[in-house]
Amino acid sequence: MIGSGSSYQPRGNPCAQCGKPIERPDWIESSPGRTSFLWFCRACDYRFEAIAIYDHADPDALAA
C-alpha cells in the first residue's frame, strides 16, 4: 500500500467522462491521511477530483 508520505504520482488515469487516459494530474494536494488529485481531460474538457484516503500510521508501533 502507498502511504500519504509517498512521492508516488498516478499516471494514465482514465477520464471519468470519456475514458481517455490522462497523463498526470494537474494538481496534487496532500494532508494527513489523504491526498487529492485534480484531473483535467484535454480530450473532452472534463475536470474531476479523485481522493485517496490512507489509514493513519500507529505512532506507537515499533519496527521489529
pLDDT digits (tens, 9 = 90+) for 3-58: 445 566 778 889 989 999 999 999 999 999 999 999 999 999 999 999 999 887 65
CA distances from 9 to 40, 54, 60, 61 (A): 15, 15, 28, 27
Q: Is the pLDDT of residue 1 over 70?
A: no
| Residue 37 belongs to some domain of the structure | yes
In total, how many domains does the chain have?
1
| Residue 60 belongs to some domain of the structure | no
The pLDDT assigned to 12 comes to: 85
| Residue 48 belongs to some domain of the structure | yes
Q: What is the pTM of this model?
A: 0.67
The pLDDT assigned to 45 comes to: 97
| Residue 64 belongs to some domain of the structure | no
The pLDDT assigned to 3 comes to: 45
CA distance 31 to 56: 11
CA distance 10 to 25: 7
